[in-house]
Amino acid sequence: MTEAPTIFITGATDGLGRALAYRLAADGVNLILHGRDVGRLEVTADDIATAHGVGRPRIVRADLAELAQVRKLARDVQNATHRLDVFVSNAGIGGGMPDGRDRRTSADEYELRFAVNYLAGFLLTLKLLPLLRRSAPARIVNVASIGQHPIDFGDIMITHGYRGTRAYGQSKLAQIMSGFELADRVPAAEVTVNSLHPATYMPTKIVLEEIGQPIDSIDTGVNATRRLVSDPALDGVTGRFFDRTREARAQAQAYHADARAELWRRSLELVGHHDIA
């Protein structure tokens, strides 16, 4: 009997992450769910187990605004499972409320949106990559955005001209760029790496507080993300960016090899990790 796949989702107690977890639980997968709040994690895991009559998802807690907690999170995931078929890097903060429009910094003194939306996922990916490779064929899915802003490598932490939307767009482009770079470095037969804009202004906490009016439904985002997680038609497809379910072009900087290499080098320095073999 084939073992059910194991899928790890960050930011799984709210919005797209929570809805995706519910949908994947119905598919019979083994889930590992991340969140910042243990109470909300417990409720989410209990609700999923009750709703689908399945085994209770495993839960792991971390604040992604602190790299030490990200490292511990990776260890907790490794201790929770002997295999990892899919890593969905979904956790993040928006360009405005409820996380503020002004410039804030992480526990490591990095610009907050770059730290949470990008560096945390980058480090977590590197830490989990050996487990993913041993579980081949595996997938990494980066929940990014169509809202992208080119990276100023002379001021990567945006100490001048700060806007929350610019910081958010830079962090999302960084996700996509590092995904492209990783896809070039890891054989697709082992791990595929793809990014997507799941939907536009879904009715999530971030959108409702900052924008007020949704455009797309949560189901639109869930369907698009689930496709990258499990659609057999995407076996071996790597290094792509999708707008919902359609392959699309990211911001132009993502296709500059020198810019991707520079981001990769700087990111390794910022998170204190060696390059992958």
Alpha-carbon dihedral of residues 104, 106, 110, 111, nearest 10 degrees? Answer: -30
**Token pair 């932490």 in the structure block, residue:** 157
CA 259 from centroid of its chain's CA atoms: 21
The DSSP H or E segment spanning 21 is helix 15-26
Please report, as a single letter, which amino acid is at residue 7.
I
CB atoms within 10 A of CB 49: 15
The catalytic residue among 22, 168, 201, 255 is 168
CB-CB contact of 226 with 5 (8 Å): no
Residue pair 139/194 in contact (Cβ under 8 Å)? The answer is: yes
264 SS3 class: helix
**Amino acid identity for residue 218 in this structure:** I
Cis link prior to 98 (omega < 30° from 0)? yes
Residues 6+ apart with CB under 8 A from 165: 95, 96, 147, 149
* 255 annotated active-site: no
Q: Are strands 191-197 and 138-143 parallel, antiparallel or unpaired?
A: parallel
Whole-angstrom distance, CA of residue 187 vs CA of residue 129? 12
CA distance 178 to 184: 10
Q: How far is CA 104 from CA 111, 112, 139, 147, in A?
A: 6, 5, 32, 20
Active site residues: 168
